[in-house]
Amino acid sequence: MQYRTLGRTGVQVSTLALGAMNFGRIGRTTQEEATALVDAALDAGINLIDTADMYGTGESEEMVGRAIAGRRDDIVLATKAGLPMSEERNHRGASRRWLVTALDASLRRLGVDHVDLYQIHRWDPATGDEETLSALTDLQRAGKIRAFGSSTFPAHRIVQARWAAREHRLSGYATEQPSYSLLQRGIEAHVLPVTQEYGMGVLVWSPLASGWLSGAVRADRGLTGHRARILPERFDLTVPANRARMDAVERLAKVADDAGLTMIQLALGFVTAHPAVTCALIGPRTLDHLRAQLAAADTVLPADVLDAVDGIVAPGTDLAPQEKFDTPPALLDAALRRR
């Protein structure tokens, strides 16, 4: 396992980190299975675990808390807040009112007195940066969080938040957690140059592109598996973007074969090769999934392989831009474009 410094925090984290979204009802993972995954990940050298309050409406945090009991100090623990936790309109967002309440609930579910990294799950256009950053700074000074970060923020929002922190003499986001994979390279054009400029840590999610890069999705076999069942629209080959992805996967599979790599090794080795990326979040549901992904822990891709990848999916290109979750609200809601 390789380790890198998480931005300018001084904290050393493994280049593969354990994402816990699949713990509980989302991934149909039991507590026993989740604990086994945590045990195996820690034994392999992974030291960062990432979860969120909305994963299973708190279920993932509870399962992580039970799995890490008695060894909290050996783990860099990260969670997130901001996405809806109920139908109540104020049980979401990045206001001081909600973040203070949400963090206390997360700490209670995790069974800890602090988290190492607290992340705003999505940019909240209804809340000003000063409101959010002042709340996070106060929570940091209270010792409930060690550092805080953003998740899936557009580049211009990262810049705006950095300006607001400096203008109001507040702590700023230490990390960003964007989507990044062989098939979704858009952040190379905007987000990663900004995070590099500010010295931010970058934890990338969905490096296997929701299963497209797991090796299980190929043109000569049916599109099956857990993700295909819960997100059928992402694998429907009548959709042009999905046909483009399938074509890219077939060509990338040949690159992997020629290099003597699995698709997982190619996919994870690619995202961790970028100098702006600190670690890749993997989200296994089973021990077999975890073992296959751990095989990429020390993968270093040579220049000719990276060049071959660039020839298939151009740098800075998203093959499925509709899945980025960072589209400005005015592009999604016509009412925001009109007076």
**CATH code at 255?**
3.20.20.100
Residue 89 lies in a domain: yes
Distance separating alpha carbons of residues 321 and 239, to the nearest angstrom: 13
C-alpha closest to that of 174 among 135, 216, 145: 145
Reply yes or no on whether the pLDDT at 229 is more than 70: no
Distance separating alpha carbons of residues 263 and 255, to the nearest angstrom: 9
Structural domain total, the chain:
1
Q: Is 55 a catalytic residue?
A: yes
Residue 338 lies in a domain: no
The pLDDT assigned to 336 comes to 84
Distance separating alpha carbons of residues 38 and 68, to the nearest angstrom: 8
Distance separating alpha carbons of residues 258 and 186, to the nearest angstrom: 26
Terminal CA-CA length for the chain: 54
Q: Quickly state the pLDDT bin for 240 (edges 50, 70, 90).
A: confident
Residue 336 lies in a domain: no
User: Residues 55, 118, 173, 180: which is the catalytic one?
Assistant: 55
Reply yes or no on whether the pLDDT at 227 is more than 80: no
Helices 303-312 and 240-259, axial angle in degrees (round to 10): 160
Q: Quickly state the pLDDT bin for 333 (edges 50, 70, 90).
A: confident
Residue 64 lies in a domain: yes
Range of the domain at 119: 3-331
C-alpha closest to that of 208 among 259, 265, 288: 265
What percent of the chain clears pLDDT 90, i.e. is strictly above it? 85
Residue 91 lies in a domain: yes
CB 108 within 8 A of CB 115: no
Over residues 187-196, the mean pLDDT reads 97
Residue 307 lies in a domain: yes
Residue 236 lies in a domain: yes
